[in-house]
Amino acid sequence: MANSIDNAGCRPIERLPITTIIPRAWIGFSRAPWRCVGLTALMLIILTGLGVTAGDLQQSSHWWLATLGDALLVISIPAALMPLVALLHLADRLLPQGSSSEVGAVPSSTRQLLWLFKQTAALAVLEGVILIGALNLIRVASAVVADHSGVLSNLILAAGVAALAIWTLGQSLALPLLVHHGHRPLAAMEHSRRLVQTNRLKVLALLGLLLGINLVGLMGACLGLLLSLPISALLLMASCRTQTPWVRESRRNMLPT
């Protein structure tokens, strides 16, 4: 018996444990509900507080106040990353351990929040640069071709947006994989791409589940987000506890030749 191998023949195929992430997430949340809610509240306070303040300052007629508003808006993103990383790190520690076939988990004692924050910031910058660069490239290419053929310009635009959407889907698990495995940004991006490639339907089901939970959380003056966001973090971290399935090897001919 051996682990199933991917097309390259050098890496085991990882399967998302989609059927077990909900009970695992509930068990993890029940272990420290107030810590999860507290980190979520801190993240929301930072985002809304800095965002509202930045919006008010940007409407000022004084240029220095408007500039300060722009600076606060930019600062709000990295400021919210710290509680987000802390929430994912806590969720990873709260989840129950699975079977011995789960791969890649790094002991939590070897990861420091500051190091994770730095790697998360680098991942966000790298993916942001790629996303903005790709959007600008698609826009420029479509505008250049539009002078010669409107149909071809629309085709380039549609193909570019589709390719970018596929790439974005492939990077949807990069952050939780970075936190769980202690990856660096490029390694997390590559791991996420491989994992999504072999679990397309499961990843779509996971994203649909997260979307549904947070849409419910938006009800009740958005107070439900204090529960839906921690549950979402636990579901994401539970999905990182991938498994390598066992397959039957073909029998070798043991007779002498």
Close Cβ partners of 89 (under 8 Å, ≥ 6 residues apart): 108, 111, 113, 116, 179
Flag whether 249 is in a domain.
Answer: no
Report the C-alpha gap between 82 and 116 in whole angstroms: 9
**Residue 198 within any structural domain of the chain:** yes
In a domain, 214, yes or no: yes
Is position 7 within any domain?
Answer: no
Task: Give tens-digit pLDDT for 53-107.
Answer: 878 777 877 788 778 887 888 788 888 888 999 999 999 999 886 554 455 544 4
Residue-range definition of the domain harbouring residue 131:
16-244
Say what the pLDDT of residue 163 is: 92
Cβ atoms of 183 and 243 within 8 Å: the answer is no
Residue 152 and residue 77 in contact, taking contact as beta carbons nearer than 8 Å: no
Output the pTM of the full model: 0.82
Distant-in-sequence contacts of 134-138, Cβ < 8 A, 24+ apart: 134/160, 134/164, 134/167, 135/164, 138/164
User: Which two tokens mark 83?
Assistant: 């509680």
Give the chain's residues under pLDDT 70: 1-11, 97-111, 220-221, 245-257
SS3 state at 229: helix
In a domain, 232, yes or no: yes
**Does residue 181 sit within a domain?**
yes
Residue 252 covered by a domain = no
- Please count the structural domains in the chain: 1
- Report yes or no on 44 lying in a domain: yes
